[in-house]
Amino acid sequence: MWAVLFRHFIAVGLLALLAACTPSTPKQQNDTSEPGTPATESFAWPAALNPFGDGYPKAGDPCRRLGESALTVNLLDDSAILVGCPGAPADSAAAALVTAGGKVVGEAQGVTMISIPQGDANAGMAEAAANPAPNQPQ
């Protein structure tokens, strides 16, 4: 009788061990993102756009500021910030920046490039030239 129970116990143990070793298919996760919002966590920023920062306009946002590179050199302006948002111009991140006053200036490698005006970089220059400081020779 003990031998039968022992064999039964061994058989159940082996079945449990085999069940634990069988690969299971991972559960599919539901997409909880907003429609029109790209999955930025999985987005690989192209180095060719020279992205920097941890979000624009604030940390954690999906867009990034873009630095000077072969793809951006003709889009940079001293009176604007060049920002890139993953996805198309109609996606929510890019559309929000355009609604706030930005202008779509290009698209490259899955990124919409937007110029955010910062005001006239030369404001006051003409006035300063017309009225030099008293200590400066003319």
Asked whether residue 132 carries a pLDDT value surpassing 80, the answer given is: no
> How many angstroms separate the CA atoms of 92 and 10, rounded?
59
Task: Report pLDDT digits (tens) over 8-33.
Answer: 556 555 445 445 554 444 444 343 34
DSSP 69: -
Range from 24-28, 37-41, 127-131 carrying the lowest mean pLDDT: 24-28
- The confidence band for 65, taking pLDDT boundaries of 50, 70 and 90, is very high
Q: What is the pTM assigned to this prediction?
A: 0.59
Q: How far is CA 54 from CA 17, 57, 65, 113, 121, in A?
A: 46, 9, 9, 16, 25
Edge to edge, the sheet with strand 51-56 lists: 51-56, 63-66, 80-86, 111-117, 103-108
Q: In this predicted structure, what is the pLDDT of residue 35?
A: 46
- The confidence band for 70, taking pLDDT boundaries of 50, 70 and 90, is very high
More confident residue, 17 or 61: 61
Question: Which residues are 72's β-sheet partners?
Answer: none
- H/E segment holding residue 13: helix 2-21
